Structure 1
Amino acid sequence: MKHFLLVFLGGGIGSGLRFLISKFLNPYFSSFFLGTFSVNIIGCFLIGLILGIATKSAALNNTFLIFLTIGFCGGFTTFSSFALENYGMLREGQIFSFLIYTLSSILAGILAVAMGLWLVKFFS
């Protein structure tokens, strides 16, 4: 039950922050969802950083790790919004925007996880 409450709390904080960032950034481009893109890449970087720290030291116990990774990062990032936005672009025939958004999100996300892990390794 304790872990459930930690995931619930972390997810709520992450979701609330995602909502604010998306509301602020999404209106800047009509064919690129900057808010969703940003939270997904930031979330990938954070999860890499958090897991890198957790593997290098005992600074993060399992309880706090669950709160941060499953809770906060899980609520902060959003695959469902990403999929819905991609579907909308396909439905509207915006094939080029769809390809750029999808590929850049996936590649930047993987790179962000790797960068988070690398930073911990580099500074340890």
Structure 2
Amino acid sequence: MRKVIYIFIFGFIGGLLRGYFTFISGNNHFIATMIINIIGSFLLAFITGLLPKIMELSEALISGISMGLIGGFTTFSTFSFDSISLLMNHEIGLGILYISFSLLGGLIFASLGNSLGNLIIDRGEGK
């Protein structure tokens, strides 16, 4: 039950953050969604790779942070809808660019988040 509560609380916070960034982006919601998802990819890899190794956290809290906070912050459904909308509205070039940047950016930034977490851990161990 604690896991569900953590996911709910952190999901609420993540959703608020996403809503705020989407709101301040104005008419540039494609760019906002792409940036939010790329930042989320980085944070998910960084947080879930680093936090359990540097401090003792319960599995429920890690789930709340990863699924709730990052899951609430990122928005796969909006990415999917925007991608399909661009392609169906014959904006093929923009659609392919949007999909490519989102996917490649997410993978690159997840890798960077993981690498940064490992670097912090290695430095903390005196390596």
Residues 35-83 of structure 1 deviation map (CA, whole Å, 9 limit, x = unaligned): 1111101110000111221453334332321111011011111110001
- 1:31-110 equivalences in 2 (<5 Å): 33-54=30-51, 56-110=53-107
Q: Is the 8 A contact 1:47 1:73 kept in 2?
A: yes
Counterpart check, 1:4 vs 2:1: no
Deviation >2 Å, runs of 4+: 54-61
Q: TM-score, normalised by structure 1?
A: 0.89
Q: Which runs of 5+ in 1 are unaligned?
A: none
Could you tell me whether the CA contact under 8 Å between 1:6 and 1:67 is conserved in 2? yes
User: In structure 2, what residue type is equivalent to 1:12?
Assistant: F
Q: Which sits farther off after the overlay, 109-118 or 32-41?
A: 32-41
Aligned CA distance change for structure 1 residues 55 and 13 (closer, same or farther; 3 Å): closer
Q: Which amino acid is the alignment partner of residue 16 of structure 2?
A: G
8 A Cα contact 1:8 1:71, kept in partner:
yes
Calculate the aligned-residue CA RMSD, in Å.
1.5
Q: Structure 2: state its 5+ residue gaps.
A: 122-127
Query: What's the TM-score, normalizing by structure 2?
Result: 0.87
Per-residue deviation, residues 61-106 of structure 1 (Å, max 9, x unmatched): 3232111101101111111000111111112100000000001100
| Contact map agreement 2:36 2:74 (CA 8 A) in 1 | yes
